[in-house]
Amino acid sequence: MMQLQQEVKNVIVQLSGSIENLSPEDYSMPCQNLSNATIGQHVRHIIEMFICLDHGYQTGTINYENRKRDKLIEQDKNFARLALKEIHLGLSKPDKSLILEGVYNDDFSNIIQFPTNYYREIIYNLEHTIHHMALIRVGLKELTQVELPENYGVASATVKHNRSCAQ
């Protein structure tokens, strides 16, 4: 499982590096291609999902719907990078059973709980992060000339598939 946590750390480093050289204006500029969302809003969303997981690890119950939605993360790339560093440093926890809870209907009436575990939620957050990095890539291409790694925002299964097709 250390390999899984290392992969998440690699993605976090890649994400942090992609926003490092952005101007504050570009970080918080609405992107037409992202339905006027900002790079910072996507970064905030990623960070807050990991914060929910960390909190859930401590309490035993994860609820991703109860995110703080901290405007400072989406407006200040340096603050966001510090949060990413904290996530990076806090990933090496042992697996344990957890409860995932949420309201999965439109009337917000019933909280549903499911058994899960820390490693399963790490995988979920890894895939979720890669998905949002793909969106961030679209925004970065609209706003800047930032160079990104070839597989930035691409799932590992897609990378493997593309490699097998190229052979």
> For 48-104, how does the pLDDT look when each residue is reduced to its tens digit (9 = 90+)?
999 999 999 999 999 999 898 999 999 999 999 999 999 999 998 999 999 999 987
Residue 33's alpha-carbon distances to 17, 27, 29, 42, 79, in angstroms, are: 22, 14, 12, 13, 25
Of 51 and 157, the structure prediction assigns the larger pLDDT to 51
pTM: 0.91
CA dist., res. 51 & res. 70, Å (int): 11
What integer pLDDT is reported at residue 108 of this predicted model? 67
CATH 3.40.605.10, applies to 2-162: no
pLDDT interval class at 1 (50, 70, 90): low
